[in-house]
Amino acid sequence: MRNLTFFLEPEVESMGLNYSLVVDPVFAEGYGVVFHLRIICELSQTEPTDEKKDPITLYDISYLCEVEITDKPEPSDERVAIDEHFLSHLLGMCILMVRGAVRIRVQSSFLNKNTFPIINPNKILSERLEKKDGQFLLPLSSTQQPVGDSR
């Protein structure tokens, strides 16, 4: 078992927290956009005089955000074209909801003073998806139903 005394320290700013966000967007045909978001928070263990150690994962959380779209675009070549600003806005709203959920989960821990960094949804989508004529090309999901159990 690890020595967990550092969890009791009130100063977290100097502890070296690192956040990662992984987004996997797909289009569930006949339904809409599904974002799988994974947030990872790690604590660096390296001190100036220590040898490099692997970070400690404080939390690794996955969320599914499903957005039903009433005006469904037609798939082409196993992908769906969606306006880049609209899709970025949807991802931004999902990130806001997930940030709030994470904030509630950590509010009674030493992590309550640290917030998840500001995210640019368009940049994340641009790194993940192909863009053509101001639209992101979203891959089709392998299932025809929404991924989660939201109903």
Average pLDDT over residues 116-126: 88
Cα 97 from Cα 135, distance rounded (Å): 24
* Number of domain units in the chain: 1
What phi, psi does 46 have (nearest 5°)?
A: -85, 125
pTM above 0.85, yes or no: no
Q: Establish if 68 belongs to a structural domain.
A: yes
Domain region containing 52: 5-139
Q: Is pLDDT of 117 > 70?
A: yes
- In tens, the pLDDT along 18-75 reads 888 899 999 987 788 999 999 998 888 766 556 777 888 888 999 999 998 888 778 7
Tokens of 13: 């700013």
Asked whether the predicted pLDDT for residue 142 surpasses 60, the reply is: yes
How many Å apart are CA 25 and CA 125, to the nearest integer?
8
Q: What pLDDT is attached to residue 76?
A: 82
Domain assignment present for 85: yes
Query: Is 31 domain-assigned?
Result: yes
Q: Say if 151 falls within a structural domain.
A: no
* Residue 104, both tokens: 């509630």
